[in-house]
Amino acid sequence: MTFVQVIDCKTRRYDDMNRLMDDWVAATEGKRTATHSIVGRDHTDSEHFVEIIEFPSYAKAMENSNLPETNRIFEEMVSLCDGMPTFTDLDVVRDEQLNKATARRFYDDVAVGGNLDLLDELLTADHVDHDIGKAEQAVVGCEAMKQDVAGWRDAFDFGFTLHRQLAEGDEVTTHWTWRGSHQGDFMGLQPTGQTVTMDGVTIHRFVDGKIAESWWVYDMLGLLRRLGAVSS
């Protein structure tokens, strides 16, 4: 689970503090575990600053805190502050929940519900799709995904059962079961009327709340066998 540390301090020497942070970045190159850092200044108090540092997990944050360079920089930072800085440790839960909800909307509202225009809201414009069932190694763009979903919907009347979703950092992994009735052309195979199922796993990577990259893993060969397109 993503972990965030919030450092709150007051200082009249922010330029020195900023240089100190640059020193820490240089000194911990290749060793630090922080993935993102942002500093904000209070709009109503120019001497009040808040730094938000993101880590992949609490354990990684502790690794970062135990670096000798971090201890040294902290001591110097305290000397620049007007009083002792305060620290708030947060396990990030809401961001991951939002990403899981967005992933679920893809299955429920787009794939099953047929709202293809919603993909413009859910995906980044340069979304990259990695699908084991496609000849291309990667397909880029919302329009390509719309065509892909439309093709499956034309070939099958289907639904998804989502068994579990795991979120970590910027990725959401979903284990699902797909069940469809073959009612249209599918990869050149005419409708058989068969009802078939398959299990699969999809990993969605998020950027700023939108799906930027997807990996699909499922038993395409097994599906074709059940439809009679290939022999056992």
- Per residue in 160-196, pLDDT tens? 999 999 988 789 999 999 999 999 999 889 999 999 9
Inter-residue contact 31 to 63 (CB < 8 Å):
no
CATH architecture of 94-226: Roll (3.10)
What confidence score (pLDDT) does residue 137 get? 73
Share of the chain above pLDDT 70, in %: 99
- The count of residues in the chain is 232
CATH topology of domain 3-91: Alpha-Beta Plaits (3.30.70)
- Per residue in 50-75, pLDDT tens? 999 999 899 999 999 999 998 888 89
Predicted TM-score (pTM) of the model is 0.65
How large is the greatest C-alpha to C-alpha distance in the chain, in angstroms? 76
Enumerate the domain spans of the chain: 3-91, 94-226
**Beta sheet of 139-140, edge-to-edge order:** 139-140, 123-131, 210-218, 195-207, 171-182, 156-168
Q: What is the mean pLDDT of residues 107-129?
A: 96
pLDDT tier for residue 232 given thresholds of 50, 70 and 90: low
Query: How far is residue 40's CA from residue 22's CA, in Å, rounded to a whole number?
Result: 16
